[in-house]
Amino acid sequence: MNFRTPHPFPPVILDDVRGAQKMLSGVARMTVMEGSRHLSELVGAPVHFKCENLQRTGSFKLRGAYVRIAGLSPVERAAGVVAASAGNHAQGVALASALLGVRATVFMPVGAPLPKVAATREYGAQVRLHGQVVDETLAAAQEYAQETGAVFIHPFDHPDIIAGQGTVGLEILEQCPEVRTIVVGIGGGGLAAGIAVAVKAVRPDVRIVGVQAAGAACYPPSLAAGHPVVIDGLHTMADGIKVGRPGDVPFGLVQELVDEVRTVSEAELSSALLLCLERAKLVVEPAGASPVAALLSDPRSFRGPVVALLSGGNVDPLLMQRILTHGMASAGRYLSLRVRLTDRPGALAALLASLSVADANILDIGHVRTDPRLGLTEVEVELHLETKGPVHCEDVTAALRQAGYEVTA
């Protein structure tokens, strides 16, 4: 999707990003870039991961937060700063404030993952839990700013934030000068806007592709309308890009400089996260894995060399467990089926023997005897199996049918 409108007075330019890079020297790490053999084979060209999941605080957010807070006047610093976030921005603001000697208050939703709350406190911020969703938390933080005079640090809708995030783009050009496509997740748009500003000013031929979760995709309708619009009913595991409205400042830059915005499904996100963990040995949160999901969904549509930005790695262990299960199911690593048997001694043992020959691992098994569709001497066995992939699933099902079993999904 490509919508372009001239932007006569860009709020952020290359010099701003270069200034932010100098400011961040010794603060933010130049994160590593790792090649992905598996994705390179799928795409037909080199694919590299830019590993911002290994940045201090576990995401790119420190970059923008530090530049924004460092730019405050002495009077503003004395008043302190306040932010609202479910995780990554909270930690970025907390650490940036600690490094700059500024008092920070961070509002987080009541249900925010405990590891993220604990990390934010450990970086030195005062944490206040308020609201069930981020919108309620955001309103509380803005009210606090009005009451106390603290400076509100927006997660994406400010030129300093965008300039700070744009330093990722300068690093990509330095680490992979031959890059032809950069794929980046989009929430409010600060990261994509900053990268686009930096990269397009130096290499206008590089294609910038933004990625949103299909259940929280505010940019496609906004770009179609020509201005930011609000979408309701956000549903995605990728909380880092779960934003209902583009930021005013980044929207114009994304509209002008980002070549395309794609969406990915929840199944594609979980499969991407699983790939990062299994193939690259990298812990990546769902939002950070969104560029990988886009590459997996249509690999041959990307011109290489490709850099996929892994924007963060802060994922709650409980959520990780659920996502990995979902990802394995999406990748065909789980198989659920029902088999009808004659209810007699030895029937189940024979079925299990057939599964053993097919090399399927049984995770769970259950019996159904009370279904009115069953005959008097029949029982239905429900099986949950661990397999080696889609082809193995087909082989297991075929082996059971060849053995004479009636198999239903």
User: Going residue by residue through the chain (409 aa), what tens digit of pLDDT does each one get?
Assistant: 444 444 455 799 999 999 999 999 999 999 999 999 999 999 999 999 999 999 999 999 999 999 999 999 999 999 999 999 878 999 999 999 999 999 999 999 887 778 889 999 999 999 999 987 777 888 899 999 999 999 999 999 999 999 999 999 999 999 999 999 999 999 999 999 999 999 999 999 999 999 999 999 999 999 999 999 999 888 888 888 888 899 999 999 999 999 999 999 998 998 899 899 888 999 999 999 999 999 999 999 999 999 999 999 988 788 777 777 776 776 777 788 888 777 788 878 888 788 888 888 887 887 776 766 766 677 778 888 888 878 888 888 888 888 888 887 6
Numbers of helices and strands, H then E, in the chain: 16, 14
Compute CA 359 distance to the chain's CA centroid, rounded to the nearest angstrom.
34
The residues, ordered by sequence, that sit 6+ positions from 344 with a Cβ below 8 Å of its Cβ are 377
Q: Which one is catalytic: 36, 50, 61, 354? A: 61
Amino acid at 214: A
CA dihedral 145, 148, 150, 152 (to 10 degrees): 0
Q: Which residues pair with 108 in a beta bridge?
A: 129
Q: Which one is catalytic: 36, 85, 270, 311? A: 311
pTM of the model: 0.83
Helix (H, G, I), strand (E, B) or coil at 163: helix
Peptide bond into 390 cis (omega under 30): no
Is-catalytic flag, 290? no
Amino acid at 302: F
Is-catalytic flag, 311? yes
Compute CA 78 distance to the chain's CA centroid, rounded to the nearest angstrom.
35
